[in-house]
Amino acid sequence: MSQDLIRTDATGATGGAAAGFELIELADPVAVAEHVAALLLHERRRRPELPLGLATGRTMEPIYRALARQIGQLPFAEGERLRERWLSFNLDEYVGLAAEDPRCFRSVMTERLVLPLGLDPERVRLPDGTAADPDAEADRYRLELEAAGGVGLQVLGLGLNGHVGFNEPPCGADVRCRCINLSASTRAANASAFGGNPEAVPARAITLGLGEIMVARSILLVVTGAAKAGILRWILQGPPTPELPASWLHRHPRVLVVADRAALGRGDNG
Ligand code: GLP
């Protein structure tokens, strides 16, 4: 990896009780994307029998671009094998958008992952946000993931209010896949895809719960940008609390946090 990779004990970085996390600090979102994409590729080769857990959001966008480029550089036969054996489950989906709506996460994954990588769309799983009964769809999705063996490596972005997936605070450590109401702050944070209007952001979503996330074999929490510095600091410090859903990750034995300097509150000269 590049020279700007610094391995730091999260406890040392924050002075808090973050003993369970391993932390990798990288220069910027581009370096984060290259590193995370390489980890995803490594995971698909090492543990192809278990699905990847994937996220959407701005943090993930450069990661999918880097992943497409890295897979494109593989020898043809290896790329083919990877495509054939691909299986991923996304964390969440808005409720009520039409299937062809470009803002639903199914469309986002088609554009960012399925088409660039040449994947079978059936092997990129998401909850169905168009289902007539979203609660029943959440149960169906949970059972489908369980039948696939549960997630191998789960990638998570971090919401500004500490949410992971769409697990809004307050949130217990054992909640399951379900249909939830989105908070006003999350609708505001995601409004850019909806013409800047928080009211246009769907009010509900289906999300995997902390229950499914915490049984992933390993977890990668990816955080970039100065806007996340405050919330990331809280998460790294712990202790776990329902007010910060991501803080439950302290109870998971294998969490790697990959963050850029800005998200760690380090200025250019810091
Ligand atoms: C969103 C999504 C999450 C995402 C997080 C951070 O609301 N439900 O899956 O990881 O919030 O989003 P972003 O990367 O755009 O900051």
Could you tell me the strand order of the sheet in which 218-223 lies? 6-9, 21-26, 255-260, 218-223, 153-156, 52-54, 88-90, 124-125
pTM of the model: 0.92
Which atom of ligand 1 is nearest the CA belonging to 91? 9
- Tokens 């896949």 locate to 177
Residue 87, classed as helix, strand or coil, is: coil
Q: Pocket of ligand 1, candidates 93, 108, 163, 167: which has the most ligand atoms within 8 Å of its Cβ, to mutate? A: 163
Q: Which amino acid is at 269?
A: N
Domain positions in the chain are 6-260
| pLDDT the model gives residue 268 | 65
Does residue 89 have its Cβ closer than 6 Å to ligand 1?
A: no
Does residue 91 have its Cβ closer than 6 Å to ligand 1?
A: yes
Does residue 59 have its Cβ closer than 6 Å to ligand 1?
A: yes
Asked if 175 and 205 touch (Cβ cutoff 8 Å), the reply is no
Question: Architecture of 6-260 per CATH?
Answer: 3-Layer(aba) Sandwich (3.40)
Indicate which residue's Cα is closest to atom 3 of ligand 1.
Answer: 165
Q: Which residues of 67-101 are buried (b: 16+ CB within 10 A; e: fewer)?
A: bbeebeeeeeeeeeebeeebbbbbbbbbbebeeee
CB-CB neighbours of 232 under 10 Å: 24
Q: Tell me the catalytic residues.
A: 92, 161, 163, 168
How far apart CA 18 and CA 36 sit, in angstroms, is 21
| pLDDT the model gives residue 158 | 98
Structure token pair of residue 155: 């990638």
**Tens digit of each residue's pLDDT (9 = 90 or more) over 154-190:** 999 999 999 999 999 999 999 999 999 999 999 999 9
pLDDT at 15 over 60: no
